[in-house]
Chains A and B, each alone.
Chain A
Amino acid sequence: QSVLTQPPSVSGAPGQRVTISCTGSSSNIGAGYDVHWYQQLPGTAPKLLIYGNSNRPSGVPDRFSGSKSGTSASLAITGLQAEDEADYYCQSYDSSLSGSKVFGTGTKVTVL
C-alpha cells in the first residue's frame, strides 16, 4: 500500500557516500508536504533521523542530510560507518487518502 517508493537496497564501503531516493506524487511530496526520514536498526523501533525535509534532531550526526525537489526526496549519508547499517524509511502526508500519513517502502543500507 506504500505510495512512496524507495530502492530496496543500497550499499557502500566505509567512508563512502550513499543516497536513498524517495519518490512520491502530486498528492504527497509534490503537493508540498514535508518528508521525514527514520532509521531502524535491527530489532529496534524506528528513530527519527530527518524532519521537515532537511532538519536533524539533536544528537543525529551531520553525516546525515536530507533534501526534497518536486515529487521526490533524498537522504544522503556521507562518511558511511558500520553502525549506519540499517533500514531507512521516508514518510510524508498524502492529501488523497483522507489525511493519511504514508511511509516509503524502505531501503536496506549495507556497509561493505
Chain B
Amino acid sequence: QLQLQESGPGLVKPSETLSLTCTVSGGSISSSSYYWGWIRQPPGKGLEWIGSIYYSGSTYYNPSLKSRVTISVDTSKNQFSLKLSSVTAADTAVYYCAKETHDFWFDPWGQGTLVTVSS
C-alpha cells in the first residue's frame, strides 16, 4: 500500500526558504503512471495546489506561486521535495504531498505537516 510522509522544519522565518521532503513508501516514485504533487491549506481555509513533478523531472507550477517554487525529485531515495522562497506569514499552512494521476486527481495524500512562518 502506497504511503507518503512529509518532513521538514515546522517554523521558518519571514523572507527565508521553506523546504519540505515527501518520502514515498510501498511503491516506486519512478512509475510512469503518476505525477507527484504538493498542496497546501492555510489554517481554517481551503486547498491550494502548489505544483507537481514527474519522475523524469518535468514540473508544473501554480502560476501564482511559480516565481518562488521549486519542486525536485530524487528517485534514488524515492523522495520529492518542495522549496518555497521569500516566505511571508501568508505561506503559513499545512503542506500535503500526494500522488497525482494522469487524469489529475490526488490519491493518496500524506498526513500533512504544519509550517509556520514567523520570526
A interface residues (Cβ-Cβ under 8 A, vs B):
1-2, 33-34, 36, 38, 44-48, 51-52, 57, 89, 91-93, 97-106
Given A34-B103, A89-B46, also A99-B60 (CB < 8 A)? yes
In the complex, chain B residues whose CB is within 8 Å of the CB of A92 = 104
Contact yes or no, A57 B107, CB < 8 A: yes
Interface residues of B in 14-43 (CB under 8 A from A): 37, 39
B interface residues (Cβ-Cβ under 8 A, vs A):
37, 39, 46-49, 52, 60-64, 66, 96, 100-101, 103-112
Contact yes or no, A98 B63, CB < 8 A: yes
Partner of B96 from the list A33, A45, A48 (CB cut-off 8 Å) is: A45
Q: How far is the CA of A71 from the CA of B103 in the complex (A)?
A: 18
Q: How far is the CA of A47 from the CA of B47 in the complex (A)?
A: 12
Partner of B110 from the list A36, A38, A45, A105 (CB cut-off 8 Å) is: A45
22 examples of A-B residue contacts, CB within 8 angstroms: A1-B64, A2-B46, A34-B103, A34-B105, A36-B106, A45-B111, A46-B106, A47-B109, A48-B105, A52-B105, A89-B47, A91-B47, A91-B105, A91-B106, A97-B63, A98-B61, A100-B63, A101-B37, A101-B49, A104-B46, A105-B46, A106-B47
Q: Which residue of A lies closest to B94 (CB)?
A: A45
Q: How far is the CA of A2 from the CA of B60 in the complex (A)?
A: 18
Contact yes or no, B107 A51, CB < 8 A: yes
Chain B nearest Cβ from A76, distance in angstroms:
19
Nearest 3 pairs of A and B residues by beta carbon: A48-B107, A36-B105, A103-B47
Q: Which residue of B lies closest to A2 (CB)?
A: B46
Q: How far is the CA of A47 from the CA of B100 in the complex (A)?
A: 13
Partner of A52 from the list B103, B109, B111 (CB cut-off 8 Å) is: B103
Among A1, A47, A104: residue with most chain B CB under 10 A: A1
Given A45-B112, A98-B63, A99-B60, also A1-B48 (CB < 8 A)? yes
Given A33-B104, A52-B103, A57-B107, also A103-B46 (CB < 8 A)? yes
In the complex, chain A residues whose CB is within 8 Å of the CB of B48 = 1, 103
Contact yes or no, B46 A106, CB < 8 A: yes
